[in-house]
A and B are shown apart, each in its own frame.
Chain A
């Protein structure tokens, strides 16, 4: 594999539920590598561990076991974060700021100079088609406009790596097309892209490789071009459903087996979803 930009080794996360102080594992032994210039899509059902994976890679959460590295530096290292662009899921921004002020704020957090911030903000506002709303307070923005602005702020520092969590969420078909165009532009420039999405047609169109995650475990990684080429699957959606169904059956069989061997304590340690486990 070419230069590895994102690498996780046995990355795991346990949360303690606040009520019963019970430990719940929401991510188990995630091992993956993303090469320089590659576009990797992490797909999975709601609460599968996609957002947790990104947060661990960025150092927003600390791993219980294992490690994550970006550009050869540990998760959360400031030198690595200086080269990263991140779009959180359902982004909420400062409603008192205008779009332009917010981009300037994001640029300042990266230590960009005044001239550069101004030029870059202007350029990105054009790119995400927000020119008319740029000087409007964000409290008046629609969900789609916030999503576009979120994408713009993630690109303010001309990142080498981007992490986008559900980038197409809240966008209309035109918005989705625009974001796909931005993604293609970034790919051409050699940016490494890691993103989570539910919208499989977009993933299919944009990604080089996908990973399917369910109940905190990465089940499979596959090159997108190989999925339909083998003839076993009609498209990415077919592949995804097949993999998830298989994983669910195996998981249920495992639980039944464990319940049969150790009737009480051991069987009661399932891997919970992110949403179930939130303290």
Chain B
């Protein structure tokens, strides 16, 4: 009569929740975002091809990658902030927590599922961009083709790294806040993370050591998205930032993600489902 409660059951609920979150996001008309992206890139390709001389590929690539970052971010923010809230709203959370599932398994599963969805979207949009860029540059083979693909892949990896972060932020806020507030918090921190260095500049301008100190503390607490953007800029212009810098950035992002997920798990564990 008793159910198996073996070692597998530690991983199985995480996998089940991840797969369910992935299915939910993918089946929630997310494909429209992909069509929207394809339309932007195709129209830009045609317009830029007729307007600019020589720089059309560079501009197309810049705008295409920015669109991937933006659309991926929108998916991460809106799907992420709804993930936990929807479970509470629809009361499906009872089904999960009346089974041998812990708060951390729930949060991790949700996060992995959404990251998987964002990954698929980023890869699909990146592949489309690569096809358009290759078609317009006319280089289907040889070193130039591989350089294009390598450059786009490196850029996409950094974009995805940033989106991992945004997804973790959205997941964290969704454990204790309404979707509207979670979206606002996530977007605010995402934006502030990009403008973080301005805080240091502002501190210098005030010439007040106390204010400067406070602003520098805020700067160090905020995620440093500007660093990621800087490195993407280097890559776009063919300069490799160095393995040490990349390793530092990956570790930094993963540590931040881990911290957010641990906090989200603690909040979920303490929650009551009235």
Contacts and interface: CB of A to CB of B under 8 A. Distances in A.
Interface in A90-104: 90-94, 96-97, 101
A84 B5 CA distance: 12
Contact of A15 (B8, B23, B273, B274): B274
B141 interface: no
Instruction: State the main secondary structure of chain A at its contact with B.
Output: loop
A203 interface: no
A60 B1 contact: no
A157 interface: yes
Contacts of A84: 98
Interface of B: 1-6, 8-10, 12-13, 15-17, 19-20, 23-24, 27-28, 90-92, 94-102, 272-274
Across the A-B interface, the 10 shortest Cβ-Cβ residue pairs: A111-B9, A108-B16, A157-B3, A86-B98, A78-B100, A82-B5, A96-B27, A109-B99, A88-B94, A111-B12
A24 to B, nearest CB: 12
Contacts of A55: 94, 273-274
Nearest to A59: B97
B110 to A, nearest CB: 13
Nearest to B97: A60
A259 B198 CA distance: 64
Interface residues of A, number: 42
B91 A191 contact: no
Contacts of B273: 55, 60-61
Contacts of A83: 1-3
Given A91-B95, A93-B95, A109-B100, 7 more contacts: A15-B274, A58-B97, A60-B94, A108-B16, A111-B5, A153-B95, A191-B1
**Residue among B1, B3, B13, B20 with the highest chain A CB neighbour number at 10 A:** B3
Nearest to A15: B274
A109 B2 contact: no
Contact of A110 (B9, B90, B102): B9
A110 B272 contact: no
Given A105-B16, A278-B274, A111 B28 contact: no
Contacts of A108: 12-13, 15-16
B1 A160 contact: yes
Nearest to A84: B98
Nearest to B106: A109
Given A82-B5, A158-B3, A189-B1, A106 B95 contact: yes
